[in-house]
Chain A
Amino acid sequence: MTDTTNDRTLPAYQLPHHPLRDLLTGSVASIAFTFIAVVAIGLLWVGPKFLSFGNVSIMGTFLIVPLIVGAFAGFALLAGVVDLSIGSIVGISAAVFAYLISHGWGVPGAAIVTLVMCLGIGGLNALAIVRFGADPIAATLGMLTALRGITWVLAGNQRMISAFDIDWFNLINMQVLGLPLFFLIAIGLTLLAALIVTKTRIGRHVQAVGGDDKAAGRAGIPVGRVRTAALMLSAFGGGLGGLVYVGQLGSAAGATGFGLEFQVYAALMIGGYSILRGGVGNPIGGALGLLVVAGVANILDLKAISPYYVNIIIGLLLLAAVLLDRLRGGDSYE
């Protein structure tokens, strides 16, 4: 018998990890290249105007809510419990926040009540998914529908609640260095989330639970509690998104946040997350995915091309991204 323990040389294709090489081959690499490609196409086709402060500022304003929502929803994806209800949570958060303000509440009180309600919604999602073992996609699809219904009812016959608070409006729309302040804050949040995911014990627990919940459970990680927390975080992010919308628009409509979940998840999947498999993806990749989608939409908009082509491109990018993920060793179906 030969001693196999001495035979530990790695095959040629399996080089040891190195931070620089990981940048080129890791999960963020392909989305980073796509991002660079989109910027290059923008510069070549649209011209320097594409990266002007004015244009980036316009994109940034539209990206604030998706970036915040995506950073938080990413935790639920990582933990292996996709939360489809985020778009409706944004809607109901905006509606409740606007309703409270229009009924004489101050912004801080209204914001706290709204966010606590959103945490409760996340708790209900967790009750169905973690406690009863409901399928996350179907269960949160139900939550999506129910919350949208409540939002329509709250919005009433006018289909909107106007809630203009000058201080809140000024804060949300403040510009710093020619860019929206909250765009920078959203990017800061993304970096913070990335730090938590990659560098802390909590982040590793979330990834472990999403990667293999049985193994994580055997390793002593409280699987149910991690998933519950992730779903509550995801709902909390939706709540924050609603507050920002009210600041941006000065009102909440029955349709606020409608379809946002598909927009965000398509971008997050392009960025390396998976809605069916936990443990993969990274907040920075997700944010780059959102930037890519926004960049494509912006280029086509500046070139006055029908916005329907954006959806076609996003759909194709999505298929390419999941195919790439599978080729890189992701789960293949059957």
Chain B
Amino acid sequence: MSLAPAIETAPPAMPFKARLGGWGTAILLLSVWAALLIATGLYRPDFFAHQTLLAIAFTMAVVGVLAVGQGIIAISGGFIDLSQPAGLILSGLIAVRLSEAGLPLPLVVVGAVLTGMAWGALNAAIIVFAKLNPVIVTLATNFIGLAALYLIFQLAQVPNGSEIYHFGRTNILGLPAIWWPMLLIIVVTGFLMRSTRYGRRTTAVGGNRAAAKARGISLKAMRFGTFMAAGGFVGFAAVLFASAAGPFNPSSASTLQLNVIAAVILAGISLAGGRGNFWMLLLSVGFLSTIPTSLVFFGLSSDTQSIFQGVLLMIAVAIDGYRARRSPT
């Protein structure tokens, strides 16, 4: 293999300022999150109850797993996957149908993940063979997919008493069972993206695709790989979603989209590609998932939630753009 050493070996020690810059995001996110928790706690001491923790952890689970998929797309230079809602609902429907057929939970998970990967492969096929931009392709496939799903079903729900039904209602160590896989996925993906050849290649392609191509990395294979991997995460998120969300229709996942994109950008995973740390998703997803619960405790209507999310997203992208403009790459 004559690949450049920069991709194959661990990156050299970063300059001190760059390392500080990386931690800066973490410190900023953590302090904003802490400030929100403390402010809400001071206003309403009953905020620090187990019930609140459950609610926040619950919201975190689905958004967190989706954000890992979105992050892989973004960091590899695929911009955004706008078709996550359609992929999630499709995989969720498969999960429901499989558990209705009485299959055990592991097989249901495999079925949903494979469905998600197939959905990702479909997107990748259009992107690669028609050479079209992922943003427009996934916008269109989401449009088509959701409409087609409405033709298939109006309302679906995991059967009462099935394994997947219990999975969505169990607590492990005081937190919802669906929270733990999310934690595991973010931690492991963060590690894989940093420390394996494939992870560094994915990031390298996003940073400079021409250079990556010149070094012998196939962009087509990379696009298929990232979209199918991201689709697999969407499929797994669908299991978490279907197990806990109750009855859902094809539009049920559309509101998640914005949270996921906001989480990815807040975590510092640049939409321009090539930059980002997946562990940071834990903080951004946690912070974003705290906002709705926090607002309820402040006595604000749930309508105000989207005001905060929208303003936050704008500030985050403005910072992201400002950073990208200042850094020479």
Contacts and interface: CB of A to CB of B under 8 A. Distances in A.
Contact of B307 (A141, A150, A315): A150
A332 interface: yes
B144 A146 contact: no
Interface residues of A, number: 45
Interface string B175-190: 0000000000000000
B223 A146 contact: no
B318 A139 contact: yes
Nearest to A155: B303
The main secondary structure of chain A at its interface with chain B is helix
B321 A133 contact: yes
Interface residues of B, number: 55
Contacts of A144: 310
Contact of A149 (B133, B220, B307, B319): B307
A142 B313 contact: yes
B80 A134 contact: no
Given A138-B265, A306-B151, A334 B209 contact: yes
A236 to B, nearest CB: 20
A63 B298 CA distance: 42
A150 to B, nearest CB: 6
Interface string B149-163: 011000000000000
Contact of A134 (B143, B309, B314): B314
A75 interface: no
B315 to A, nearest CB: 8
Contacts of B144: 311-312, 315-316
B318 A153 contact: no
B43 interface: no
B126 A319 contact: yes
Contact of B314 (A142, A319, A323): A142
6 contacts: A132-B322, A134-B320, A138-B80, A153-B307, A276-B133, A312-B144
Interface of B: 80, 126-128, 130-137, 139-141, 143-144, 146-148, 150-151, 209, 219-220, 223, 258, 261-262, 265, 271-272, 301, 303-322, 324-325
Interface of A: 128-129, 132-135, 137-139, 141-150, 152-153, 254, 262, 266, 269, 275-276, 306, 308-312, 314-316, 318-319, 322-323, 326, 331-334
Q: Which 9 A-B pairs have the closest CB atoms?
A: A146-B310, A145-B310, A142-B313, A149-B306, A149-B307, A311-B147, A142-B314, A133-B321, A315-B144
